[in-house]
Amino acid sequence: MPELPEVETVRRGLQVQVVGRRITKVEVGRERSVRRTSRAAVIDGLTGATITEVNRRGKYLLCTLDTGDHMMVHLRMSGRLLVAAAGTERPPHTHVVLHLVGEPAQELWFVDPRTFGEVVVFDPLNVAVEMPELAKMGVDPIADGLDRAQFARLLRSRSRQIKALLLDQHVIAGIGNIYCDEALHLAGVRWDRRSDAVTPREITRLHAAIMQVLGDAIEAGGSTLADTQYVGLDGERGWFQLHHRVYDRAGQRCLTCGKADIVKVAVAGRGTHYCPRCQS
DNA sequence: AAACAAACCTGTGCGC
DNA sequence: TGCGCACAGGTTTGTT
């Protein structure tokens, strides 16, 4: 579910509401959410610790603790982080709860119906062993910055369908299905173009489209679809879905040309939305 | 190397 | 109203 803009929105919420507060108690319900390590490792690693910093790399949230350890949270498809007053009734599928000191006392909930997401406490000195995917992650367009020249080099480094390349977290980190389809549409580039055959003019357009879509979506607090799966830390909805031009609009008139209908096809199991007239 | 398909889970929406 | 199937924002693994 959450892509870079949604994760960034959560990160900003954590920055304001959770940084500097000590964790007094930790509850782990479903062990699957902490499967990378163990229930004990997460409870022992977090109890008594204070989160001093919250960073994001791609779709990974990385919290620095005053103990020297780091806490990684990945929301995958259905994960949510929520802050609520201590003692508030918890929603179904609340698998990890961090009790935060303060007045009033609050709790940070990790809620995840599909249980694809995870919470990991690890020693950053052992990152290569405990979180190997972090070392292999590609450039984050927002956190690291991504200029046109570097983007052009990434496109030419492989010969793949452009959509597959943009979704590959080892190449560019943070773009998911929604923002990929939206960026390709804005740039007028079809999903099945070869990455190394995109023209210089198209590279310029696609680079600008990616930066704009991600930036605008962050400003809008991400996209909250009809199922309301994604919400921010306080349960607030994002509104970028109101600006979607192709995602989840199959069969509807293209908002760009006003003449063709949006087509949806399956590409490697992912729904892919595009305008056959605007994108070539 | 690239492109699928399947796997991991649960919930929801749709057609019948 | 109820049932069964398809599908969902992600990522990994295995197979062509």
SS (H, E, C) chain A: CCCHHHHHHHHHHHHHHCCCCEEEEEEECCHHHHCCCCHHHHHHHHCCCEEEEEEEECCEEEEEECCCCEEEEECCCCCEEEEEECCCCCCCCEEEEEEECCCCCEEEEEECCCCCCEEEEECHHHHHHHCHHHHCCCECCCCCCCCHHHHHHHHHCCCCEHHHHHHCCCCECCCCHHHHHHHHHHHCCCCCCEHHHCCHHHHHHHHHHHHHHHHHHHHCCCCCCCCCCCCCCCCCCCCHHHHCCCCCCCCCECCCCCCCECEEEEECCEEEEECCCCCC
* CATH code at position A215: 1.10.8.50
Q: Is A3 marked active-site?
A: yes
- Give yes or no: residues A117 and A179 share one domain: no
Q: What is the pLDDT along chain A (280 residues), one digit of tens a residue?
A: 799 999 999 999 999 999 999 999 999 999 999 999 999 999 999 999 999 999 999 999 999 999 999 999 999 999 999 999 999 999 999 999 999 999 999 999 999 999 999 999 999 999 999 999 999 999 999 999 999 999 999 999 999 999 999 999 999 999 999 999 999 999 999 999 999 999 999 999 999 999 999 999 999 999 999 887 899 999 999 999 999 999 999 999 999 999 999 999 998 789 999 999 999 9
Both A80 and A18 in one domain: the answer is yes
Q: Are residues A236 and A192 in the same domain?
A: yes
Q: A93 lies in a domain?
A: yes
The answer on A121 and A70 residing in a single domain is yes
A114 and A29 within one domain: yes
Flag whether A51 is in a domain: yes
Total number of domains in chain A: 2
Check whether residue A239 has its CB closer than 7 Å to nucleic acid strand C: no
A259 catalytic, yes or no?
no
State the residue range of the domain holding A215.
Answer: 148-274
> Considering the domain boundaries, does residue A279 fall inside one?
no
A193 within domain boundaries: yes
Residues 83-122 of A with CB under 7 A from strand B: 92-93, 113-116
The answer to whether residue A2 is catalytic is yes
Residue A264 belongs to a domain: yes
Residue nearest to nucleotide C11 (CA to C1'): A76
**Closest-lying nucleotide for A160 based on CA to C1':** B2
- Give yes or no: residues A130 and A9 share one domain: yes
A127 and A152 together in one domain: no
